[in-house]
Structure 1
Amino acid sequence: MKISISVLYENMTRWKPKLLGHSGRDTMAYSGLYFVTGRFADIPGKILFGEPDVFPRGLKEKAIISFGRLPEELAVHNTLLIFPGDSDRSAIYQEIELLFSRYEEWDESLHRALVAKKSIQHMLELSTAILENPIYVHDRNFALLGSVNMHEDQNGWEYDQRNQQYIMSLEIMNDYKLDEEYQATMSIDGPDIFSDTIFGYRILYRNLRTEGAWYGRLCVNELKRKFRKSDFALLSHLSNMLLMSLEMGHAHVSPNTRELENAFLKLIASGNLEKTPLAGALMQYGWDTEDEYFCAVLQTEYRDVRTNAIAYTCRKLYDMFPYSCIFSYHDKIVLVVNTSQGHLSIHEFTNQLAVFLREGLFRAGISSEGRDFSHLNDYYKQALEVYDLGSQKDPSFWQYCFDDYVLPYIFRQSIRELPARLLCRKELFLLRKYDEEHHTDFFRTLRIYLEQNMNISHTSDELIIHRSTLLYRLERIQALTGMNLSAPKLRFGLLYSYYLMEDQEM
């Protein structure tokens, strides 16, 4: 493994050396020392080691280790590590050679682990003495793949009993989603520092990404010692090895799951899919074409995309509702919940989902229950419609079930081309105007009478009036409007008008 002169400098501070020259030339480019004596020779990939008088003044682009004072012009074009003039040359030379051996052994152990297909955890354990701080790796679903040097002040992880692994807590995930600095870190390719604003300590991290695919993140917490400049390069080296390991043994989604997702995505996108491939995908997933199901849609935001929270959310939802097919579509998370397989009603589903939505800062639209998965597109649209409608009418709610918004949906559809006043019975406007002019209560009386199925006793109790008073009001209403309330369609039209007027606040 090649290292930089900064790695040597930061490991030899007890000798009180000075690092001089342009840091831009201090790269991980050196595999050992070349001891310069009387005659100078240029050996590529080696750090030059010797007394001040053996280095020609015209040297450029070199890394030099020496003692005492060197000509100033050497520092202009080279990187210099200068030890005090009275330092023990032999002891320093041997210590540097040991440092080269140490990092070379680390690199070789990582390569052996890679060839032997050892775990991420094993590779982190090999790196504890190098980075000397808590190290951990999480995958794209924010599940912990490995951790070492754990510290009591380190942010916690929740144990997922079902998958028997630790995952990031929802509280921390929400902090990330709302933090602009963290969102920005998702687009950074090299090693970088995440500030201490959330956890109280800094995190040196690198995204594990290749060809546009984000596998997760390697992190080092600044808890046992302060970060060094060389940690950036060492983290990059470790992350490259981990990335190769992840690419070799990455756990892909089950083919059965992927096939059903693709079938559902085609249904949602186009509304059409031949029944044979759909039935095959359902059968491979263990579902039947006649199973009952419903569709739920969670609307995500840009912050969810930037922090890769969508994959994390899908995983959490699947843990909660295993008899579901869950996937992302555009800016939404779609759940197809099989109630036949899971023995779960919509009411039970919403009760379980409510806390998750509130804690995860999501809202959801939920369709009615149905059969025949070839009609999934209709139930998906139903979930979208109720999400949009519910968000307008009840913005403080976290979820909206279509069954609770059927009438408001019908009202919204009915007034797309005609204003609401043209869809309401004119007799109701007449009664309301009469009430305003004569201080009567005929408008409300008729509504309650209809809602009580024209039951005189129930209506008078609801209005808290005497039976004879109610009968008088009904006679006056009939005289004013000329309506025959024995006609079912008329009663339906009147109630529809009442509810539409209420919905539109007319």
Structure 2
Amino acid sequence: MRVTMSMLYTGLKTCVLCQKGIAYNKQLYVDDVCFSKKSKLPTDISYVLIDWSDYDQQAYVHSSPEMLILATRDEQVDRDTLPPCALVVYSATSLSQLFEICRDVMRYYFQWGDELLSLIMKNKDLQELVSCAHQLLKNPIMILDSSMKVLAFTPDDTMDDAIWKLTVEKGYADLDGQSSLVLKRGLALLNDHDSAYNHPMHGDSWASAKNVVVNGNRVALVSLIQKNHPISEGDFACLCYFGDMLALYFKTRDSLSYLTDNRLESIITDLLDERFKNEAELNARIRNVNWLPKLNFFILTIQSCHLFLNKMQMKKISEAIVKMLSNAWAVIYDDHIVILINHNSPLSLNVQETSNLRYFLKQNQLCAGISNSEKKISEIARLYRQSLIAIEMGSYLDLADDLFLFSDHRVNSMLYAFIKLGDVESYLNPCIKQLQEYDTKKNAALLKTLIAYLKNNCKQLKTSQDLFIQRGTLTYRLKKIEELCQVNLSDDKLIFDLQLSLNLYLFMHAK
């Protein structure tokens, strides 16, 4: 890390009274500082520290004013009488001691830069880099990606600034909230410049921001909000260096594990991963997208029936399907094509879209599941699971179709989930097994009769008609069931138990 004049000036101000000279240039690098006595001009150094009382203008006539640092013991000296120089130091300290102070300041910045670089080379966490930078910069540090998600910040900060506290606690900068006024203007500033210095953003708060570019995209912002001290030129020089270190950090790692963007597809992926902590975070993210959500959300999930699809194939399929549907956005998620459908209609697809989709699925040996609708986009992770269940039910039941609706299999999916727990027969009402054994032994139809009776809501006339038997025969069979199983078919709780057990039994034997 090379030390600039602004950094040296900032460091000296913490030790001695120091002011900018007429020839001050904050961007010049300070690689070395030497102190000189009268008529002894160093030739191999970048900056000269000289005593004003011992100053001989003729001795330094060939020296650039930007290289001169004047030291004086008289704080009342008229600055207009001083020759052009970079800095003026007011101190009774000897010249050699001032020289050592300069060296200590420069060494401190060198060591800080080396420590940051060392943390990166040792694969340390992003939060450790922020904590290291905070030791020198003092002001709180926040790193955000372009979607305004807080990637890291200084957790040891007291958060006595209301803007800082609200923003960090949310995890996202809410562009419509009080906490975002600083950050919103900071981003707007970064759209025109690579960096901003001491820009007044909200009341008494000032911020210094550095743009970090990864793969040609603006992906992160480092922002300092004034709390304990104003942001100096040296702070900003260090901030720029820290920004360069962050760019290196993201390039040497999987940046996708940290960085998000403002695309709706990225938000859909984060929703499927259930990364959002609350609605406020989600709403802040959506406001950064040029998209207005509508009333109903659906998830359409597509997968291959038999073949393995690579990423390129899935992308081509998703693009083709999005073109045939209205208000649809596709992502590749967990080896599935997941499509978000959002419109005001209570139906996921209209008649023409359904027809086109079925034809496309059949031609490409694909199958698909469609979820129920939801009013909140935050629920799409659950809708995604519904769409997967719909596909699974179609496969389990060997249905002659390629498009399955969760609404058609809601009850079956509950039964199927119960079946997958194992040992289902232990949960069935004992009557089923008793009747099954009796029918096998006596060649009777008591179980069939009970199924028809429950299916017709215990209405005897309708049951006898469905079974093509007389009503008296039905009455005899029902009494036989009660005697054999020792139950009362007029008990509502028993009826519910039998209905649930028989539905489960029939579903198990549906294949």
TM-score in terms of structure 1 length: 0.50
Larger radius of gyration: 2
